[in-house]
Amino acid sequence: MILNQIILGCVVGVYYSLVAIGLVLVYKVSGIVNFAYGNMGMMGAYIALLFLGKGMSPLASMLLVIPVAASMGYVVNRFTMRPLKGISHSSMLIVTLGIMMVFEGIAVQIFGADYKAFPELVKGRPFVFHIAGGLVLLRRQDLLVITIFAIFSVFMALLLKSTKIGLAMRAVSQDEQTAKLMGVNSNLIISIAWMISASLSAVVAILASPKTYISPGMMIHYQIEGFTAAVLGGFESLIVAALGGMLLGILETFVGDQLGNAFKPTISLAFIVAVLLIKPEGLFGRRKLEKL
């Protein structure tokens, strides 16, 4: 029973980990906490619904949305974030909140506020695993989510460690001005980070759609959980963000089983408050020293 809860918690945590990775990626490269992240994914889910209505399969709809979401990420960065570059971080945060509300308003005006169903990307009988004398049930959709997480993790590892783009991303995240002096096109690198992040958000929204249904507020919970996971590492590490998402998923599963699903949202909020009070730079983050 406990093993089953841990595995199911990890499945839930995969969603939070993917959201956290997208948030941390943009923050590391551009220094912006993107509160519009969830609603960018929500717009991607609505676009996938349009493709589905044209006769596309759910999986094909998701694949077609990825370049659309990447374009959305580029547009948001190029025409809102880049022109405002240089203003305070708090002001940039407020801008992303404004973008979040704009996306929500667009969704309501075009698609309405009603919940819309989206089928699972893969269907079939769940897999039954006999582990440690117990039974573990996993839906095919769950295995798809885990597979996508594994593929994306490998992709990001190879991108950051083995490509010029990844090296440029790491350079910009360390010191943008020095990276520019070394010949790095920081504007392009930041745009690429936004494109990857927006695409990832859309994938998460589509994968979650069969459970949450598609609506203007469908990604609020996932964004809060992803933000909480990112806080664990002080928005410094993609790996810690991913591990934090898994931990939150496991905690939520145990809390939901013991106290009821109504207590799940309080876990992440209480965790954020506790971390910020005890160690504002994150449990695994490093305190930054600034010259006066």
Report the pLDDT value the prediction gives residue 187, as an integer from 0 to 100. 95
Residue 155's CB is within 10 A of a number of other CB atoms, namely 11
Distance CA 41, CA 122 (A): 20
C-alpha to C-alpha distance for 30 and 51, rounded to whole angstroms: 32
Maximum Cα–Cα distance across the chain = 62
Judged against a pLDDT cut of 70, whether residue 61 lies above it is answered with yes
Mean pLDDT of 6-13: 86
Stated pTM of the model = 0.89
Is pLDDT of 147 > 80?
A: yes
**Domain layout of the chain by residue ranges:** 2-226
Task: Tell me what the mean pLDDT of segment 136-162 comes to.
Answer: 91
Residue 16 has pLDDT above 90, yes or no: yes
Q: Name which of 10-24, 123-137, 224-238 the model is least confident about.
A: 123-137
Average pLDDT value for residue range 33-40: 95
Looking at per-residue confidence, does 275 or 99 come out higher?
99
**DSSP classification of residue 83:** T
The mean pLDDT value for 25-46 works out to 95
Whether 285 shows a pLDDT value over 60: the answer reads no
pLDDT band at 290 (very low <50, low <70, confident <90, very high): very low
The span from the first CA to the last CA of the chain, in angstroms, equals 55
Chain position carrying tokens 């769950």: 142
Alpha helix positions (H), 213-261: 220-232, 238-259
Residue 164 predicted with pLDDT over 70: yes
